[in-house]
Chains A and B, each alone.
Chain A
Amino acid sequence: MNAPAMNALPPVLTVRNLSKSFGAIRAVRDVSFDVRRGEILGLIGPNGSGKSTLFNCILGQLAPDGGAVAVNGRPISGSRASTLNKLGVGRTFQQLSVFPDMTVLDNIIVAGQEHHGSMLSRLFGPPDAGLTEEAERLIEFFRLGHLAHEKAGSLSYGQQKLLDAAMAFMAGPGLVLLDEPAGGVNLTMLGSLKERLLTYNAEHGTTFVVIEHNMEFVMSLCSRIIVLAEGAIIAEGSPEEIRADQRVIDAYLGG
């Protein structure tokens, strides 16, 4: 529907038998799935379904009790966030997470500078690590160009969300995990956000995994959807299939 599904290539992200419990609560139960290159995968489920726990296990914020996660075949369980980022995994945050006192341009440059050269070259090289042009291009892509020299903290909520996405993309990751990108964003901005994400995916072939509550957003953005309930996967398929799936309807409405 949106991005070409390149089924021939190995999956970008593989999750195998992932489990995580908090005391007696089994938040994630034996979850396994693949994320194919170039697709936009949505991860949805009612509150308490374990989406966030699953997400945090993948990202290394939580250590899973069992199972394994691999990126491009490389196991990443328990990796530090910066290691994960260097492996080509980017992420956005649910809570506002820009650097408020730095300019928009600086926010983007810092997102890219750690991937250029070594620590020493960064000390003795140019102050912008040679990334101004690239950063400006990305800022233009997200239509924040007129704000390039403003302090990031002075941007509106929606603009900061766009900046957050831009920062995640700056290092050219192959996989980006988006944590509730639509949260708190107004309707107009939401349309633009979705359109920009789709365009980026089409132009660069970057794989996205999106956790989201906003059904409409997810349905129109994602090419494939996985539904979680009570820690386990209950359905998987295209948006139309999911919309019609009785188990999904039951999980959200009743039980």
Chain B
Amino acid sequence: MAQFIQVLLSGLATGSIYAMAAVGFTLIWQAAKTVNFAQGEFVMLPAFFVLIAHHALHLPFWLSLAVGLAAAVFVLGYLFKRLIVEPMLPVTGLPLIISTMALAIVLKESVKEFYGAEAQPFPELFPQDTIPVLDAVVSVQDLLNLAVSLSVVTALTLFLNRTRTGRCMQATAQNPDVAEILGVNTRRMVLYTFLINAALAALASFLISPVYLAKFSNGETLGLIAFIAAIVGGFNQIRGALVGGLLIGVLDNLTATYVTAEYRAALPLVLLILIIMVRPQGLVGTSEGRAV
């Protein structure tokens, strides 16, 4: 029982980080109808910005984090939108999807070539103590990770629903033409979406890198899990990404502990195929009307 609680909590913690990546992914899909195949690399990269600031520029850690966040928001938010997404928006989705795949390769290989192929240790944000919960021994880091991720997603949801800008963003996502007519600056709203995604990815990066180390290849698994979490939860809802992320985090941990280690990576994949077959709108999603 004790082990179960540990595994559960640990899974929730990791899952909440996946959820942040999945939420960003969903946002971009809704706002720009873009499937960002580089989302995993978006989560991999900011950690390296921080490491460069900290080790090469010798900035104090907290400042490095801020620099990393700013760099991520600028490069993965603004530049991504301006240089890659915008020129391709008039054409239908395929060239953009290919470009994000190619971007993933560029980011991954650039880190490998210019920084290094070995896994880099990333300083912890939170104390490494453990506290007893019932019979179990739970890491503080896990609890804080969970708390931070959930707060961020909650704050984001509140922002989108309760503030004027947030509602304008939602309007733009649902019906850009009507939003434009009603006076919403749709271009800026879409830009905000990309900036928010970059910030979410950066936060996810900072939380997960202490645990898994910063490595150029992290993006592959993270990206895949982000997509799957978004789809399993429900592609057209932020809530869905949250549910999907937590679910996968927990199930992944449970599988690895109690079932099989070899096929651990297969779980999210099987889950994906199952959901698409049984309930394509996702666990929390609403079906958007008939297909053609």
Contact = CB atoms under 8 A, between A and B. Distances in A.
B290 interface: yes
A63 interface: yes
Contacts of A63: 289-290
Secondary structure type dominating chain A contacts: loop
Interface string B279-292: 00000000001101
A62 B289 CA distance: 8
A78 B290 CA distance: 9
Interface residues on B, range: under 10
Contacts of B292: 80-81
Interface in B237-292: 289-290, 292
A44 B57 CA distance: 72
Interface in A43-100: 60, 62-63, 78, 80-81
A58 to B, nearest CB: 15
Nearest to B290: A63
Contacts of B289: 62-63
Interface string B66-89: 000000000000000000000000
Interface residues on A, range: under 10
Contacts of A62: 289
Contacts of B290: 60, 63, 78, 80
Contacts of A60: 290
A62 B290 CA distance: 8
A63 B290 CA distance: 9
B92 to A, nearest CB: 14
Contacts of A78: 290
Interface string A6-46: 00000000000000000000000000000000000000000
Contacts of A80: 290, 292
B251 to A, nearest CB: 34
A41 to B, nearest CB: 26
A81 B289 CA distance: 14
Interface string A201-225: 0000000000000000000000000
Nearest to A61: B290
A60 B289 CA distance: 11
B124 to A, nearest CB: 50
A188 B93 CA distance: 40
B265 to A, nearest CB: 37
A249 to B, nearest CB: 31
Nearest to A82: B292
A65 to B, nearest CB: 13
A81 B292 CA distance: 8
Nearest to B291: A80
B181 to A, nearest CB: 16
B23 to A, nearest CB: 27
A156 to B, nearest CB: 24
Nearest to A60: B290
A78 B292 CA distance: 11
B281 to A, nearest CB: 15
B286 to A, nearest CB: 14
A60 B291 CA distance: 11
B210 to A, nearest CB: 47
A233 B290 CA distance: 28
- Which 6 pairs show the lowest CB-CB distances between chains A and B? A81-B292, A63-B290, A63-B289, A80-B292, A78-B290, A80-B290
7 contacts: A60-B290, A62-B289, A63-B289, A63-B290, A78-B290, A80-B290, A80-B292
Given A63-B289, A78-B290, 6 more contacts: A60-B290, A62-B289, A63-B290, A80-B290, A80-B292, A81-B292
